Amino acid sequence: MQKVVYQDLGLISYKEAWDYQEERLRELVDRKLKNRKLEPEDREQQRHYLLFCEHPPVYTLGKSGSLDNLLLDEEGLKREGFEFFKINRGGDITYHGPGQVVGYPIFDLDCFFTDVHRYVRFLEEAIILTVAEYGLQGMRMEGFTGVWLEAGRQLPQRKICAIGVHLSRWVTMHGFAFNVNTELSHFDNIIPCGIDDKDKGVTSLARELGREVPMDEVKGKLRRHFASLFGFEFSRNIL
């Protein structure tokens, strides 16, 4: 069974977390390439990571996104106190901020399955299973990644989790942004995920439940569902 190191990075700048992901990705790729040159009995077990964190307010634009979906200019970003990064994940623009569980799995999919679509479905499923524990029915929408809540009670379809990933030699980075106690007004400065549709919006666990939700509680549920879906154990070696 594969071992995964879990790390809660707390509140961390986006750039610092991005650099840390890159370091862990290179570690996994280097270990994979080294192992290929060794006999099976001499190979080192791969070490995967599941990183959780929160970021100060920041907008990130994926490699397939459009800058037109950012509704603030450089001066506006500075005035409002937001950072902005163009990054190497898939998807369009999204927001990260306090009260959001941002998850970065650094997994070598050669040790699980080499299917990027299945991988994204597993990320979605971990969120769907988690929101179900709060009495909410998460869903997928054809043509869109992420997790949504169905329209109802005069509410539009609402996205509660955005997903965007990047792979190098089947090692993953980036991941998901799950709105728990997120300040949703910060999405007003962008066209979230490039979806300009009045019948679609964003939401959070807190908005749906009418109360703040303990972040550690949510992280514990996510960890359990990730381990079950991918079939791994968490390592006791926290680096």
Catalytic residues: 193
Q: CA-to-CA distance for 56 and 53, rounded, in angstroms?
A: 10
C-beta of residue 40 within 8 angstroms of C-beta of residue 73: no
The token pair at 68 is: 């037109």
φ, ψ of residue 110 to 5 degrees: the values are -60, -20
Q: Are 61 and 67 within 8 A, CB to CB?
A: yes
Q: Tell me the three state secondary structure of residue 194.
A: helix
What gap in Å lies between CA 233 and CA 230, rounded to an integer?
9
Query: Within 13 Å of residue 18, how many CA atoms lie on the same side as its CB?
Result: 15
Per-residue tokens: 113? 């399955």
Spatial separation of the C-alpha atoms in residues 200 and 197, rounded to whole Å? 5
Instruction: With beta carbons less than 8 A apart as the criterion, state whether 116 and 167 touch.
Output: yes
CA distance 100 to 204: 9
Please state at what angle helix 116-132 crosses helix 215-230, rounded to 10 degrees: 140
| Alpha helices for the chain (secondary structure H) | 14-36, 74-80, 116-132, 205-209, 215-230
